[in-house]
């Protein structure tokens, strides 16, 4: 559900970042290993393809945010990649996303999203009650 909040007018991510979610298809989501050694679900793009091909190599780390991440042994700096993506620069970054990111089809206000979530909940509750 949190993925849906990315595609709201109130989210501070760039329009390009939000559009990545809207254009995402189910097959575009993949589990990757982050430089911190943890798995994450991301939307496939050229940057991640280049990482897989060994074409990405960080030259420095200005963040030093994670003790488990050593840029010398990582294919890229995760902070740089995430900041670049947030700004809409997907040549040098990528977007993490939830398993249902492909279901997002528009950018809306948080108010509209909350109304949709309430409606979906009420429908599911009614269906569940009818099934009992």
SS3 assignment for 4-54: HHHCECCCCCCHHHHHHHHHCCHHHEEEEECCCCCEEEEECCHHHHHHHCC
Highest mean pLDDT among 42-46, 60-64, 65-69, 70-74: 42-46
Q: What is the mean pLDDT of the chain?
A: 90
pLDDT at 78: 87
% of the chain with per-residue pLDDT over 70: 97
For 5-26, what is the mean pLDDT?
93
% of the chain with per-residue pLDDT over 90: 68
Residues 20-48 have pLDDT tens digits of 999 999 999 999 988 878 899 999 999 99
What's CA 10's distance to the chain center, in Å?
A: 16
pLDDT at 73: 79
pLDDT at 69: 76
């Amino acid at each position: 559900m949190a993925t849906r909040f990315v595609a709201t007018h109130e989210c501070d991510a760039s329009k390009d970042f939000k559009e990545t979610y809207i254009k995402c298809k189910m097959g575009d989501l993949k589990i990757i290993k982050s430089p911190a050694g943890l798995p994450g679900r991301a939307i496939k793009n050229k940057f991640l393809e280049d990482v897989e091909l060994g074409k990405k190599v960080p030259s420095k780390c200005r963040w030093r945010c994670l003790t488990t991440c050593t840029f010398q042994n990582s294919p890229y700096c995760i902070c740089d990649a995430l900041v670049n993506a947030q700004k809409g620069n997907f040549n040098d970054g990528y977007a993490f996303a939830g398993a249902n990111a492909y279901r997002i089809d528009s950018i809306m206000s948080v108010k509209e999203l909350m109304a949709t979530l309430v409606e979906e909940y009420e429908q599911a509750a009614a269906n569940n009650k009818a099934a009992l």
